[in-house]
Amino acid sequence: MARTALAAFGESIGRGLVPPTLSGGQLRTEVLSGLTVALALVPEAVAFAFVAGVNPLVGLYAAFIVGLITALIGGRPGMISGATGALAVVMVSLVAEHGVEYLFATVVLMGVIQIAVGVLKWGKFIRLVPHPVMLGFVNGLAIVIFLAQLTQFQVPGSAEVSGHGMSGGEWLSGASLYLMLALVALTMAVIWLMPRLTTTIPAPLAGIGLVAVIVIVFGLDVPRVGDMASIQGGLPPFHVPLVPLNWETFEIILPYAVILAAIGLIESLLTLNLVGEITNERGGASQECVAQGVANTVTGFFGGMGGCAMIGQSMINVKSGGRTRISGACAAIFLLLFILVGSSIIEQIPLAALVGVMFMVVIGTFAWNSLKIMTKVPRADAFVTILVTIVTVATDLATAVVVGVIVSALTYAWQNATRISASTYVTPEGAKVYRIVGPLFFGSTDGFIEMFQPESDPALVIVDFEASRVVDQSALQAIEALAAKYEAVGKRLQLRHLSHDCHRLLSKAGHLMVDSDDDPDYALAVDYGVRTGILGGH
């Protein structure tokens, strides 16, 4: 199993990196898409580093390393990974209590856990996320991205670190606010119009470039990337986390590592599905888990804060034409070049242009059709969609998905619990037959037992499961309880038409099954008395 998962690495390097049909025009599109994504990554990485309470370069290094490794060996070409807010809000308490070195050690352990999940192929369980949860996820994400951009309308340097980003600062007003809004609107207009004129240059890049030229040429006084923090630095140095190698350290970092690994994988796998719907690709969940794990393990040894897939930047990439691993790799390389040699230029880019790009991402990400179908789908599904959206905004994406899956599962269980029923008839021999319809499981056991009347039933009662299914231990216990009730009044109970897997469940639980000559395909569970003394013989 491990060999199969890890063997995918070699294949993934070639698959999607340089496709045999890649034309010169497509190559240009891939490179320019990567440049666009890199420009959008800078303020995000800096902001999330502030949230986690670490140096901005820690966020930028994470965006470069995680982005490069997952671009090369990830489960879906075109996906973008980097430092994210959902991880940063968990890291902030760890950094505040124990320091940044413990963060690096936690990121390494987080990566190891993610590799294990990928090798064990647990990523496939993402398919259990229902469609209403996905709708709520993308809608909540769109709102979170929108709210995060509002902090760019604050006076530079006046904001403070809070749960989801920078807040509490002084808001722009008057001419400064109107100028900022005008530049945002101009960026959005260029992105909307550009595809109608030409697809040679990705529309987001054209919007950023045009607005940046206007701001720089006319010397407009608006917030720029450099107002957040300096992004100048060197190559990320190899660095073993300076923490004691003992059990106490492990106890400190393990809970954080497990939470970060879970959040990172949930976001990454949902992003994988979302990008897959756009690019018509499937699979790759286990490979993505391994790639995320390798990326975070390496990042922890090079002074990075770790990361996962970024849906906003992934949407920018695929909608700019990025379809192969080239675009993601270029985004990471451009980001490193910004840090090494291009910081003075990048720091002059107006934040308004990047806000405009992200606003267009919000418009494209939000599932507007979910508003139209809200009154047409089952009320439980509509409730789950709204709940996941609210929890996403109030807490984080991973928590919202877990809550949505749990509520969906409980709703499904309740619906099936109310579907169990029985019809009865009496055989010529005088036995009463209960024909059960619907699954017998923990949610339907009470209703199952209430359908029977041990006091008034004849001496022989047959329970026919041809239209039902025994699912779990609670169902077995319900059958035991029912048998005990009939035994208490001196009557006999038979089980008929159990499927082979239900037969195995009862046998494994210790019940002796006696096959019926006139029912060779289904097995007749009758002789509890042989083993337990509850029932008489067949």
Tell me: do 367 and 422 sit in the same domain.
Answer: no
Q: Count of residues for the chain?
A: 538
Give the H/E segment covering residue 492: strand 492-496
| Residue 386 resides in a domain | no
pTM given for the model? 0.76
Q: Single out the residue of 102, 122, 109, 110 nearest to residue 84, CA to CA.
A: 110
Instruction: Please tell me whether residues 315 and 440 are part of one structural domain.
Output: no
459 CB-near residues (< 8 Å, 6+ apart): 430, 490, 491, 492
Q: State which amino acid sits at residue 120.
A: L
Expressed as residue numbers, the domain containing 452 is 418-531
Is residue 411 within 8 Å of 137, Cβ to Cβ?
no
Do 86 and 198 reside in the same domain of the chain?
yes
Summarize pLDDT for 505-536 with one digit per residue, the tens: 666 655 434 333 334 343 434 443 333 333 33
- Beta-carbon count within 10 A of 175 CB: 9
pLDDT above 90 for 39: yes
Confidence check: pLDDT of 348 > 60:
yes
CATH number of the domain enclosing 447? 3.30.750.24
Picking from 373, 390, 408, the residue at the C-terminal end of a domain is 373
3-state secondary structure of 323: coil
| Residue where a domain terminates, one of 373, 405, 434 | 373
Tell whether 190 and 115 lie within a shared domain.
yes
Is residue 196 assigned to a domain?
Answer: yes
pLDDT of 85: 82
| Tokens at 167, concatenated | 């807040």
User: How large a percentage of the chain has pLDDT more than 70?
Assistant: 86
Instruction: Tell me which range, 152-166, 176-190, 372-386, is most confidently predicted by mean pLDDT.
Output: 176-190
Q: Are 426 and 312 in the same domain?
A: no
Domain presence at residue 123: yes
Name the pLDDT band for 397 (thresholds 50, 70, 90): confident
Assess if residue 142 is contained within a domain.
yes
Q: Are strands 81-82 and 166-167 parallel, antiparallel or unpaired?
A: unpaired
pLDDT over 60 (residue 11):
no
Cβ proximity of 29 and 201 under 8 Å: no
510 and 436, same structural domain?
yes
Is the distance from CB of 81 to CB of 45 less than 8 angstroms?
no
Residue 342 and residue 432 in one domain: no
- Residues 193 and 296 grouped into a single domain: yes
Q: Give the distance from CA 198 to its chain's centroid.
A: 35
Measure the N-to-C terminal CA separation of the chain; round to a whole number of Å. Answer: 47
For 450, phi and psi rounded to 5 degrees?
-65, -15
Euclidean distance between CA atoms 312 and 480, whole angstroms: 54
The residue out of 373, 402, 432 marking a domain boundary is 373
What's the pLDDT band for 290 if we cut at 50, 70, 90?
very high
Q: How many domains does the chain have?
A: 2
Span of 136-140, 306-310, 367-371, 521-525 with lowest mean pLDDT: 521-525
pLDDT digits (tens, 9 = 90+) for 222-261: 999 998 888 999 999 999 999 999 999 999 999 999 999 9
- Indicate whether 272 and 343 sit together in one domain: yes
Same domain, 264 and 368: yes
Q: What separation in angstroms does the CA of 105 have from each of 47, 98, 263, 280?
A: 22, 11, 17, 37
Identify whether 200 is part of a domain: yes
Query: What is the rounded distance in angstroms from the CA atom of residue 14 to the CA atom of residue 34?
Result: 18
Is position 334 within any domain? yes
pLDDT at position 264 is: 92
For residue 406, tell me if it sits in a domain. no
Residues with Cβ within 8 Å of residue 451, at least 6 apart in sequence = 421, 422, 434
pLDDT 10s digits, 386-395: 999 999 888 8
> Is residue 306 domain-shared with residue 437, that is, in the same domain?
no
For 49-108, list the strands marked E by DSSP: 81-82
> Do 366 and 98 form a contact (C-beta atoms < 8 A)?
no
Alpha-carbon distance values, 336 to 40, 84, 186, 339, 483 (Å): 13, 18, 29, 5, 71
